[in-house]
Structure 1
Amino acid sequence: MSEETFIYLCDKLRPAMERRDTNFRVCVPLKKRVAIALWKLATGSEYRSVGHLFGASISTVCRCVQEFCAAAETLLIPEQIRFPDQERFKEMAAYIENRWGLPQCIGAIDGSHIPIIAPQDYHCDYFNRKGWHSIILQGVVDGKGLFWNVFTGLPGSLHDARVLRLSTLWEVASRGNHIPASTKNIAGVNFGYYILGDSAYPLQNWLLKPFIDTGRLTAEQRFYNMKISRARVVVENAFGRLKGRWRCLMKRNECAVDLVKSMVLTCCALHNLCESHGEAYESAWDLPSAAELVLGLACDVYGDGRDVREALMRYLNS
């Protein structure tokens, strides 16, 4: 990140991270403490290696990372990852409609596995279908690839649909507390705002997914799936840039699960900070694959969003 963004971050976390000198020892300066934590998150290096680089002990590096993540959860995350208000919903929907032609869409949802070492308790629950231990990060992004809802910490063995149902997003969206409903009439159906998901997610009025390709899809259904897939790439790109910039999310994390969860949330907030500040992203940071695909299993759980999906399909083909 640029020096300006680094200074902004230091000033933001100063109330929680700054320390004073004592009669017995000189404290580690705030900028150095923040730099140590950022280097750990950006490289995933071991504490010993980070300590050698910054001239600090292993315990100091560990403490800096823990305090940085705790400060970020208190001061940075609430600012960078916020549930949109009514005006923000309108802006996100207008951006996506102008770019991909999908009316009333406010973003896309997906999941990603974060590697961890096997925890001592219930380690089998964290063993995912890919053959390694992980926790799941569920993220919802807007059309610009900025996270506006994140949920993480559940074991990697869980299905994406199960993770969604256990998240706060499911509760608030199903009750209609935060996502406005029936704001626009499209093809004879009242449309509220909705997000896009892959086939692993349940179909809802506020969550649309592609038709499952059984080889007998109509031309209209195939066109609908193509439009949905083109727009959904924004969340896959967001996860790619998140892990490309913060490499600790790619390597097997040796920290306790609670700290890994805090690190994941912090990296999501730092992703939003860097993206919104226009920080450069180098193609050399990209993951080996173009985007991580998660649990491409067909989900046979259907909600009450069939009429919404059919109406959107008719609208896109009109």
Structure 2
Amino acid sequence: MTEDEDFDLPDEEFSFVTLFAACSDIQEQRKRYKVERFVQDVVSRYSLDTFKTFFRVSKTTFEAILENIQHIPELLLREPAAGRPQISHEKDLLMMLWYIGSQETIRSIADRFNVSESTFHSHNRRLLDVFQKYFLQKFVIWPNDVQTVNNEFEIKKNFPGVIGAIDSTHIRIKPPNGHSNDYFNRKKFHSVILQAVCRGDKRFTDIFCGWPGRVHDARVFQNSPLRQRGPILCGQCHLLGDGAYPCKRWLITPYRNRGNLTRDQIKFNQILSSTRVIIENSFGILKGRFRRLQFVEMNDISYVVKAIITACILHNICILNQDELDEHFDNDPQQVPLIIPMFENDAEGQLKRQLLTRQLAIT
């Protein structure tokens, strides 16, 4: 018998061995390793840097949030079911932050915190509800310190009168059953749209989320509350947007370049673009810190939206607490050329843009 023949097996025996090995691998994968006392024995020993690495916020920020949720009626500790331990506010918040800040599976997170998947789902959803109900209007607010915001923008690129920058971003999702095409966007993946305005320090001051990815940014804007409230909110100031938006007295956009722009108009477009880019940076920071937003796999779209809104709230809380995290997600690594629809630009908006063009030409 040759050396090669030594290792030959009959086809039937080979098939059995292969099948047995495959079944063993599957059984191994199915083993559940729940971690007992993860919060008490493991998290409590994390260094400050390690805590922030896993939970995406500093320990100080975490404690501030924990203090804010202690007395919310929906989170008052209830009597646990027979034989089940009570879950503290601390553990609830840690589970939610781990979820928002990672791409770990629900099964893995539940095992890590020694709870069932159904318990994780119910507690996570309850906390997402609480953030939207109690914290959205507390932390995502339109600025009343108008001059401060104007200065935040003007000090960067000399663009005067700016109250915020507006844009939309696509949040990759698992499409809901029966509506896959509605959520398939021009970038060739399924998403929901987050429209946001930010100020110069990258805090979001207005968010509107939930429209299917197939819808154009312009239609999302036209149906957002900001479209109606914008003139009053902005007053004599203005937002900066890209060419997907109409030019209005309170929303300044670039000139469309058909090859006939003047030198001053080209300069205006360049300054507007370099000022407005802060909203793209904000989206990159948001997705870099709260990595669940790189792909949200939930069956219920309403809770996809609540997870996104919660991440935006946490983003603002971190900025207010000077809690920086130097991780940036490349928001749109493969830009698809945007087909800009024709708008009836506001005559007042066009006049204001001309005045701003002259003003910036001499800076």
TM-score (norm 1): 0.89
Q: Is the 8 A contact 1:126 1:156 kept in 2?
A: yes
Q: Is the 8 A contact 1:204 1:302 kept in 2?
A: no
Q: Is the 8 A contact 2:186 2:336 kept in 1?
A: no
Q: Does the residue aligned with 2:193 lie in a helix, a strand or coil?
A: strand
The aligned runs of 1:143-222 (5 Å cut-off) are 143-173=200-230, 176-180=231-235, 192-222=236-266
Shift of 1:290: 7.7
1:55-102 CA-to-partner distances (Å, cap 9, x unmatched) read: 1111121112101111101222111101233xx222211221222211
Residues 252/262 of structure 1: CA separation in 2 closer, same or farther (3 Å cut): closer
Number of equivalences: 301
Residues 113/292 of structure 1: CA separation in 2 closer, same or farther (3 Å cut): farther
Q: Is the 8 A contact 1:106 1:194 kept in 2?
A: yes
| 2:113 paired residue number | 54
Which residue among 190, 197, 200 is the counterpart of 1:140?
Answer: 197
The aligned runs of 1:150-299 (5 Å cut-off) are 150-173=207-230, 176-180=231-235, 192-282=236-326, 285-288=327-330, 296-299=338-341
| 1:303 paired residue number | 345
Residues 91/113 of structure 1: CA separation in 2 closer, same or farther (3 Å cut): same
Q: Is the 8 A contact 2:92 2:123 kept in 1?
A: yes
Shift of 1:19: 1.2
| 2:58 paired residue number | 2
| 1:78 paired residue number | 137
Residues 153/240 of structure 1: CA separation in 2 closer, same or farther (3 Å cut): same
Alpha-carbon distance in 1 for matches of 2:176, 2:228: 29
Shift of 1:120: 2.2
Shift of 1:113: 0.6
Alpha-carbon distance in 1 for matches of 2:334, 2:193: 13
Shift of 1:131: 1.5
1:90-139 CA-to-partner distances (Å, cap 9, x unmatched) read: 22112212222111111100101111122124332111111121110000
The one-letter amino acid of 2:63's match is I
1:19 correspondence with 2:77: yes
Shift of 1:161: 0.8
Q: Is the 8 A contact 2:191 2:213 kept in 1?
A: yes
Q: Is the 8 A contact 2:163 2:234 kept in 1?
A: no
The aligned runs of 1:125-136 (5 Å cut-off) are 125-136=182-193
Alpha-carbon distance in 1 for matches of 2:108, 2:237: 47
In structure 1, stretches of 5+ residues that fail to align are 181-191
1:109 correspondence with 2:166: yes
Q: Is 15-24 or 93-102 further displaced after alignment? A: 15-24
1:29 correspondence with 2:73: no
Q: Does the residue aligned with 2:234 lie in a helix, a strand or coil?
A: coil
Q: Percent identity?
A: 31
1:284-306 CA-to-partner distances (Å, cap 9, x unmatched) read: x3224687858733232132111
TM-score (norm 2): 0.79
| 1:68 paired residue number | 127
Q: Does the residue aligned with 2:202 lie in a helix, a strand or coil?
A: coil
Alpha-carbon distance in 1 for matches of 2:314, 2:76: 19
| 1:188 paired residue number | none
| 1:185 paired residue number | none
The one-letter amino acid of 2:64's match is Y
RCO higher in 1 or 2 (8 Å CA, sep ≥ 6)? 1
Residues 294/18 of structure 1: CA separation in 2 closer, same or farther (3 Å cut): farther
1:143-191 CA-to-partner distances (Å, cap 9, x unmatched) read: 1111000000011111111100100000112xx33322xxxxxxxxxxx
Larger radius of gyration between Structure 1 and Structure 2 = 2
